[in-house]
Chain A
Amino acid sequence: MRKATLFAGLVAGFSTLAINAAQAVEIEYWQYVFDTRVKAMDELITNFQKANPDITVKQVTFPYADYQTRVIAANMAGNGPDVMQLFYGWLDKFVAGKLLQPLPTDAFPHDKIESEFFPIVTAMKRGDDYYGLPTAVRSLALFYNKKLFTEAGLDPNSPPKTLDDFVAAAQKIAKHDGSGNLTVAGSTLDMAGQDHQWWREVLVRQFGGMPYTDGDKKVAYNSDAGLKALKFYTSLQLEKKIGQAGFMDEGQAAFRGGKAGMTIDGTFRLGAFKSIKDFEWGVTELPANAEGVRSNYASYFANGISAKATGAELEASKKFLAYISSPEAMDIWLKTVGELPARRAAAMTETNLKDPIYGPFLKGLEYAHTTMFMDEAGQRQTAMDMVNRVLLEGQKPEDSLKQAAEAEQEIIDAAKP
């Protein structure tokens, strides 16, 4: 008898606890530290909490260099986030490590994702499931220094449209001193920056090839097209002398310092370039080839729901993820961070497309490709080494290309989960 009452009391106690929990849920959101991203997320959280007073979202941030390790370590210790930000290239690792759960189809139906977001969102799909949705995406464009254009006798309002235009303009801008040292670069050459993406996803395709096949698991650039692309890139320094790897340490530094006519970089550089006071700069689409073929490289950080989120926390996480991938959130993100909305409707608005800065990046998204990296750092290194062997050691491009393709295939095979 006494036992029964005790038991009833316990049950009653637990159920009130459970109800309370359902009424007030706290979920954790993790991302890496980047001033404007943190600020934008604070704003999104405030808006979200206003609309959902029963849910509290706690934002936790880590330095970028530590971020992956922290997420993984916290997961092993069993106290990770409920909703987390991840680079699309980390997905295989995170899925294999059971860090993420598939997005519940009731809240995120596939047909809606596929019709409303840019096609590059499929990089978050494994098998039949999506594992995350981006708020914003990044693409590449050609930045150019209007002052140097004018000085070289070029029209600062008609930036190069094709690769030939690009080379011709760069040759006019480039300056050398009496002993042949570069003093002003026509365009930056920086494989460690974004040039490796430009080479891989843009140039190789423009010369008629494919960087990879088989879902990016097979290296395919060791071809005639790949060789032409590599020769084109290395000739920019060796023959046309429009730039030099390592000039002013980094490509973006050279452009910022007003010592480079053009540079290829991403949306994420806008914040840094906005503070330039010495000259006016513009943005244009990456140059097309002679046949008008264009390509671009797009990437993004997505948000996913942790595998450990269940019950009330899962429900709250679903609501939060839905909000931070809504058109409203994307608009706030664009204004605060400067990254492009991941939904077609939110991105391709009249105002955005007409914007002289966002316009070229947005147009690039329509034909952009996304490399499914297995080991981003390792694969980037092979591309850098490939170019360095030609530039510094005088290796023949065909040999360097072959060596790079073999090395990268090995990295991909080793990283397969």
Chain B
Amino acid sequence: MATIEQQGAAPGRPDGPRSGTLTDRLSMRTRRLLWVWGFLALPILFYAVIRFYPTVQAFYLSFTNWDLLRPAKFIGFANYIKLFKDPQFWKVFKNTFVYLIVGTPISLVLAFTIAYFLDRVRFMHNFIRALYFLPFLTTAAAMAWVWRWFYQPPPIGVINDVLSMVGIAQQPFIRSTDQALFSIMVTAIWAGLGFQIIIFMAGLRAIPTSFYEAARIDGLGEFAILRKITLPLLKPTTVFLVVFSSIGFLRIFDQVYNMTTNDPGGPLGSTKPLVLMIYQTAFNSYAMGYAAAQTVVLFTILLIVSLLQLFILREKK
């Protein structure tokens, strides 16, 4: 073994006699692996320090009563028991799932429909696509403030002005416990639409045109083509967007916080998602332990939802 390695290493080295060092004794393959892992170690280490370590720390903190000031004391499951008894938590939990269950399908169906037809439009195609994409580029906070003013009651709210011109009764929108959540969801869907359209269009373009030609020769109608060819072949794209958009709705924060800063989470918490509750517990009440417990719950929900979606939408063999 040793001789082979020596032979492999020696030619590159002019001073042969000194070739007894550790690196020279390793094979080419091992050395390459060492290099690869050497480079990979840096991002992995970085990631471990800024991601994994805080995650583990959060799990630990969720079992303590840490309030930033006094040393953390281990209190077992007390935070979790408090959380599950808190009616506010269940309200927030429900809100979060309404964002997810209503928001994700609507945004995906909308994005697909637009992408499907936009794909056929030749006239000003790029311009229209840019228009859809624009909201995605805008800062969420700035956008939320514009919408907040749109939703105002008379005399300053634009939407209510239009409604009164058409003769429809004024709506309270974000000042109502029933409408506030959906008012905010609309803005979130609108903001994410551009990105989803672009991804869907890329997915549509990737389907080979020969499939369509074959289908047309066989006399399949448009709807059948959509159902039998387009949708099945678009599945990887759809799976990606479902997971991506679900996580987005489960973590919704910017829109909610900025549209209701003077009563964060809407009147009587009607729009408050879990992330906002975590933020308030941690940075307004400084109950870090309790906030960590909420974070662990959010983490678990995200994990379960993502795994569930991957399982349901998996490739059937």
Q: Which residues of A contact B (CB under 8 A)?
A: 65, 68-69, 72-73, 76, 93-94, 96-99, 177, 179, 181-183, 190, 192-193, 244-250, 259, 375, 377-378, 381, 384-385, 388-389, 392-393, 414-415
Query: Are A384 and B263 CB-contacts (below 8 A) given A97-B68, A97-B69, A183-B155?
Result: yes
Number of interchain pairs (Cβ within 8 Å): 79
Please name 10 pairs of A and B residues whose Cβ atoms are closer than 8 Å in the assembled complex, sorted by A. Answer: A93-B67, A97-B69, A177-B154, A179-B169, A192-B262, A192-B263, A246-B172, A250-B262, A392-B175, A415-B285
Closest Cβ of chain A to B289, distance in Å, is: 12
From B67, B155, B175, B177, give the contact of A393 (CB < 8 A).
B177
Chain B residues lying within 8 Å of A244, measured Cβ to Cβ, are 153
| B261 closest partner in A (C-beta) | A192
Which residues from chain B contact A65 at a C-beta distance below 8 Å?
283
Q: How far is the CA of A384 from the CA of B263 in the complex (A)?
A: 8
For A192, the chain B residues whose CB sits under 8 A away are 262-263
Q: Please tell me if the beta carbons of B267 and A388 are within 8 angstroms of each other in the complex.
A: yes
The contact of A179 among B152, B156, B164, by CB within 8 Å, is: B164
Compute how far the CA of A247 lies from the CA of B154 in the bound complex, rounded to whole angstroms. Answer: 8
Q: Closest chain B residue to A387 by CB distance?
A: B267
Nearest opposing residue in chain B for A177, CB measure: B154
Residues of A contacting B269 in the complex (Cβ-Cβ under 8 angstroms): 385
| Chain A proximity of B141: nearest CB distance (Å) | 13
**By the criterion CB–CB under 8 Å, are B153 and A392 in contact?**
no
B175 touches A181 (CB 8 A): no
* A250 to B153 alpha-carbon distance, docked (Å): 12
Interface of A is mostly: helix
Q: How far is it, in angstroms, between the C-alpha of A229 and the C-alpha of B139 when the chains are bound?
A: 42
What's the least CB distance linking A184 to chain B, in Å?
9
CA distance A250 to B152 in the complex (A): 10
The reply on B7 being an interface residue by CB < 8 A is: no
Given contact pairs A246-B153, A249-B152, A392-B268, A181 touches B263 in the complex (Cβ within 8 A): no
Cα distance, A178 to B269, chains bound together (Å): 32
**Chain B, interface size: which category?**
20 to 34
| Shortest Cβ gap from B172 to chain A (Å) | 8
Given the interface pairs A97-B69, A415-B285, the reply to whether A248 lies near B152 with Cβ below 8 Å is: yes
Question: Residues of A contacting B268 with CB < 8 Å?
Answer: 385, 388-389, 392-393
Alpha-carbon gap, A388 to B265, bound state (A): 13
Complex: A408 Cα to B162 Cα, angstroms:
41
- In the bound complex, residues from chain B placing their C-beta under 8 Å from that of A392 are 175-177, 267-268
The answer for the CA separation of A97 and B72 in the assembled complex, in Å, is 12
Check if B286 is an interface residue, CB within 8 A of chain A. Answer: yes
A402: shortest Cβ distance to chain B, in Å?
Answer: 15
Q: B148 an interface residue at 8 Å Cβ cutoff?
A: yes
Closest to A253 in B: B156
> Considering the chains assembled together, what is the distance between the CA atoms of A179 and B160 in angstroms?
13
Whole-angstrom distance between the alpha carbons of A266 and B240 in the complex?
52
Given contacts A181-B154, A181-B170, contact A245 B285 (CB under 8 A): no
Residues of A within 8 A of B156 (CB): 248-249
Is B227 part of the binding interface, using a Cβ–Cβ cutoff of 8 Å?
A: no
Structural contact, B153 and A247, CB atoms closer than 8 A: yes
Which residue of chain A lies nearest to B266 when distances are taken between CB atoms in the complex?
A: A388
Q: Would you call B70 an interface residue if the criterion is a C-beta within 8 Å of the partner chain's C-beta atoms?
A: yes
- Asked whether B77 is an interface residue with its Cβ less than 8 Å from the other chain, the reply is no
**Cβ contact of A377, chosen from B155, B170, B285, cutoff 8 A:** B285
Question: CA–CA, A76 to B172, complex, Å?
Answer: 46
Report the Cα distance A68→B170, complex, angstroms. Answer: 42
B-side contacts of A248, CB under 8 Å = 152, 155-156
Give every chain A residue within 8 A of B187 (Cβ-Cβ). Answer: none
Known: A179-B164, A393-B177. 7 other contacts (CB 8 A): A72-B69, A76-B68, A98-B69, A99-B69, A182-B154, A183-B154, A414-B287
Give Cα distance in the complex from A124 to B70, angstroms. 21
Q: Is the CB of B155 within 8 A of A181?
A: yes
Q: Is B149 at the interface (CB under 8 A from chain A)?
A: yes
